């Protein structure tokens, strides 16, 4: 089950909005990518659990990631405790990612910052051999990802690293728009929300252009780091 990147989001659509272009870019380069949604987004004002599940599967197909799974944590009420950490450890040890992408370290929705800390703690604990976990009754071996990066969501956070996603921006937006229940749709008669306005998608577009401009490309996605980024040469950097 070894994978290169495990992208984790508190809700279905988090990874599409925050790092969808980055996931597509790495898939196009041959890296194995898996998405893990922590909750089913059951507290969302619009749509339903079933609709969100169908939308997330369509988005998976657009991005081309190998697998998408859902941990089934409680939307809005999951916590960073031993039970949730152990559940995440099981997934981390199952997929053995080298890189984990997680929610923004703080954001408008409290699940985002909470999810970021939960993932960070679970990644560290997953490397401890005295924490024992099973998958299908088979003991798992310890595994600690090499790097954790946090994508940027609603609140602007100055990034430590920006990925050029210019060739994949249209596919990213196509993946986002798989969530018809959540984003702007003039035919949707459900209550309006913060993310259902046309201005929200305009912000995503502007954010991508702003980050891209800062590295002299058309579109970019930004991430914050938890540890220093090492290179062998200055020429490894754009």
Q: Does the CA dihedral 155-158-161-164 come out positive or negative?
A: positive
pTM score of the predicted model: 0.95
Residue 185, pLDDT score:
84
Residue 1, pLDDT score:
81
Residue 188, pLDDT score:
85
Contact 39/134 with Cβ under 8 angstroms? no
Contact 163/221 with Cβ under 8 angstroms? yes
Please list, in sequence order, all residues whose beta carbon lies within 8 angstroms of the beta carbon of residue 16, skipping any fewer than 6 positions away.
59, 63, 172, 175, 176, 178, 179
Per-residue pLDDT of the chain (238 residues; tens, 9 = 90+): 899 999 999 999 999 999 999 999 999 999 999 999 999 999 999 989 999 999 999 999 999 999 999 999 999 999 999 999 999 999 999 999 999 999 999 999 999 999 999 999 999 999 999 999 999 999 999 999 999 999 999 999 999 999 999 999 999 999 999 999 998 888 888 888 988 999 999 999 999 999 999 999 999 999 999 999 999 999 988 7
Residue 73, pLDDT score:
98
What does the alpha-carbon distance between residue 151 and residue 140 come to, in Å, rounded to a whole number?
28
Residue 134, classified by CB atoms within 10 Å of its CB into exposed (0-12), middle (13-18) or buried (19+), is exposed
């Amino acid at each position: 089950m070894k994978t290169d990147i495990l992208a984790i989001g508190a809700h279905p659509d988090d990874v599409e909005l925050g790092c969808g272009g980055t996931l597509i870019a790495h898939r196009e380069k041959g890296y194995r990518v898996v998405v893990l949604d922590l909750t089913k987004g059951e507290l969302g004002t619009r749509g339903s659990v079933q609709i969100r599940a169908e939308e997330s599967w369509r988005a998976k197909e657009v991005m081309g990631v190998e697998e998408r799974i859902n941990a089934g944590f409680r939307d809005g009420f999951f916590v960073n405790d031993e039970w949730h950490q152990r559940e995440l450890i099981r997934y981390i040890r199952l997929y053995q990612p080298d890189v984990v992408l997680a929610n923004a370290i703080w954001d408008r929705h409290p699940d985002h910052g909470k999810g970021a800390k939960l993932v960070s703690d679970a990644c560290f604990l997953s490397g401890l051999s005295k924490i024992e976990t099973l998958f299908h009754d088979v003991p798992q071996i310890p595994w600690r990802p090499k790097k954790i990066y946090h994508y940027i969501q609603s609140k602007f956070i100055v990034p430590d690293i920006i990925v050029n996603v210019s060739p994949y921006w249209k596919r990213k937006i196509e993946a986002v728009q798989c969530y018809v229940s959540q984003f702007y749709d003039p035919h949707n008669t459900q209550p309006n929300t913060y993310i259902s306005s046309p201005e929200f998608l305009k912000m995503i577009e502007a954010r991508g252009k702003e980050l891209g401009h800062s590295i002299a490309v058309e579109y970019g996605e930004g991430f914050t780091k938890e540890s220093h980024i090492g290179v062998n040469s200055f020429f490894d950097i754009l």
